[in-house]
Amino acid sequence: MEEQKDTTTRREVLRSAALVGGGGVAGYGAASVKTNGTACDEPLPSAVREMDGDTEFWLGDDDELQSRPMYTLSLPGTHHASFYEMTDNWLSADFLSRGHVERWTKPQSRDVRTQLEDGIRYLDVRPFYDAEAAADGGRRFWGHHEVARGAPLDDVFGDIADFLAEADASTDGNEIVFVKLSHIDGFDTKESREGFADFLRSHLGEYAFELPAEEPSELLSRPLSSFDGSRVGVLYEGENPWEGVADSRERWLRDGWVNKPTVGDAHRAAVGLTHTDASRLGETGYYVTPTEGRIALAVLTGWLPFSGAWLGYSGLREAASEMSRLFPCYLNHALADDSVNPNVLTVDYYHETAVVDACRYLSRRGLHRPHP
């Protein structure tokens, strides 16, 4: 067996560097706001505001969407889908820091089963291999967000499999879910990599596309109704430790990670993204991305009233609420410009914005097609 490398160094470094002291759905109404220098006084389209609330099997229950090529669909996504709870604080062992760390690392608040039931169809998952827990016979695979550990991935992937099984039992149509594995951490040994490949196979089994054997343009041209049941496609970012189980993100996805730490800049960058290549899914990330250093600084000053003032928000939830106030302007722009085509629209705290209903509406309208 290959010797395991030390995976605790990163956490120890983070902890040694930290000396820690102690919204509603704004997007659904007319948004007369100015956020971080960016103004929006547009309401959501009435067709989006009036969407019915039946989101659980919104693809499987819609005969029109079942007959469309997949590249015409818009899938709502969750950034850091597996970080709906913080299970370990790597930045500081100080219990008083927990709330500050969580405020700056937790982008979701509902588990993955609930996300899927609420209509989410794209999950951004950041896997971490916990060698210490594995050595003690505990759970090996977790979600993470740079300086903290999230939910156990057996819960996450178990929720995906259970949802797809229920979809097949409850609707005549098929559901589709995509999972992107990125920022992979701790998989330094052959044992950990092969273990995760087996883990994916055991959880997703019959529902998983064999994406490496597929040509993206051909698969995305097929309608959901052409598949023998609901499916999940797993993508990875970086090196390929799971050959045959997951396929390269670059083959299937044009990544629209705007990588901006402030709300106004993130909104403006998202508005500037276009996706005209129908042979791949075009993703737009509509969220802020403060760096690890800025998160650490915000946590260090979390007990001060000006914490996060240089970013314009006091944590990821407040930033998501601010982004939701600008979301109507993004959506109206996407409807007016046929080159935008957000096949995947990923957000933080998805329930605070109208992303699910917006993507349902965009899907019914159809992407990569001329509109009057």
| pLDDT for position 257 | 85
Q: Mean of the pLDDT values across residues 11-17? A: 38
- Percent of the chain that is helix, strand, coil (3-state, to 5): 40, 15, 45
d(CA 334, CA 163): 30
- pLDDT digits 0-9 by tens, 96-136: 678 888 988 999 999 999 999 999 999 999 999 999 989 99
pTM: 0.89
On the question of pLDDT at 270 being above 50, the answer is yes
Structure confidence by residue, pLDDT tens digits, 20-78 = 222 233 333 444 455 666 778 899 999 999 998 899 999 999 999 999 999 999 999 99
Phi, psi of 73 (to 5 degrees): -90, 155
Average pLDDT, rounded, for the chain: 86
pLDDT of residue 174: 98
Say what the pLDDT of residue 140 is.
96
Three state DSSP letters for 25-74: CHHHCCCCEEECCEEECCCCCHHHHCCCCCCCCCCCCCHHHHCCEHHHCC
Domains of the chain: 9-365 (3.20.20.190)
- Amino acid identity of residue 153, one-letter, is L
**Do residues 181 and 127 make contact, with C-beta atoms less than 8 angstroms apart?**
yes
Report which of 160, 35, 208, 8 is spatially closest to residue 93, judged by C-alpha positions. 8
Task: State the pLDDT confidence band at 6, using cuts at 50, 70 and 90.
Answer: very low
Q: What value does the mean pLDDT take over residues 85-97? A: 81
- At 39 the pLDDT is 75
In tens, the pLDDT along 314-364 reads: 899 999 999 999 999 999 999 999 999 999 999 999 999 999 999 999 999
Q: How far apart are CA 32 and CA 11, in angstroms?
A: 43
- What is the per-residue pLDDT for 24? 31
Distance CA 254, CA 194 (A): 28
Give the model's pLDDT for residue 263. 93
For the segment 285-300, the average pLDDT, to the nearest whole number, is 81
Q: Percent of the chain at pLDDT above 90? A: 69
> Residue ranges of the alpha helices (H) in the chain?
9-17, 46-49, 63-66, 98-105, 112-117, 131-135, 153-170, 190-204, 216-220, 249-252, 263-271, 292-300, 316-336, 355-365
Q: What is the per-residue pLDDT for 96? A: 67
Residue 3's region, left for phi above 0, alpha for psi from -120 to 50, else beta, is beta
